[in-house]
Structure 1
Amino acid sequence: MSGMKIDILKKRDGELLVGEVKKTSKFEVAAKMQLAYYLYRLKEQGIELDGELLVPKEKKRERITLDDALTQELETAIAEIETIINGDKPPVAEKTKYCGKCAYGDFCWS
């Protein structure tokens, strides 16, 4: 599917799961939303699966289910993104603690 790069599709106990692998759980909320987006897009195509957020170095595994609450949170985020995209000007850049390691810094500060 366009715009998506699913890390792993795996079978556990006879159930197919979408896996998202991260090096660290530092950005756990963003990772959950990324996985939720994949599940959401798959559901739009008639494929309803659960996912697992995997952090091998920390031996963490968290199951993610696209329930009504997560769907609403995701749809709100998508609407906010669309508002920014369709706006006349991008929002004013604000430095945060994450800026130093962000791969997209050139977009904000150039």
Structure 2
Amino acid sequence: MPENRNTTATLHALMMERTPTTVPVPAYNAAEPRLWFELLEVFFEYRNVVDESTKLYMAVSAMPDEAIIEFRDILIAAVFLRNPFTTFRLLYLRRILRELAVFADRLTPHQP
């Protein structure tokens, strides 16, 4: 019986090697940007993507035009730096956090 399990496991492994699978770039999620960037990192690890320019291209390809336009200034700045994807992610998240802080401040009643 153990031989049968090994044979089944071996056949399964061979089938997995020969079965092409396509994993798409994670869809852009404006509501959860930190989660989206984490999903991108998992995707890059799975696909063995290490080049920063390739990572940036893949991330931007998942973004709608409206988001690209909204963040074009940091995208343009990041393209010319040594670590464009890491820089884009950092600046993007900083801007989002700053906008959330401003929004929260507007909602908070202030003492006269």
Which TM-score band applies after superposition, normalised by the shorter structure? 0.3 to 0.5
TM-score (norm. length: structure 1): 0.33
Task: Specify which structure has the higher proportion of strand.
Answer: 1
Task: Specify which structure has the higher proportion of helix.
Answer: 2
TM-score (norm. length: structure 2): 0.33
* Structure index of larger Rg: 2
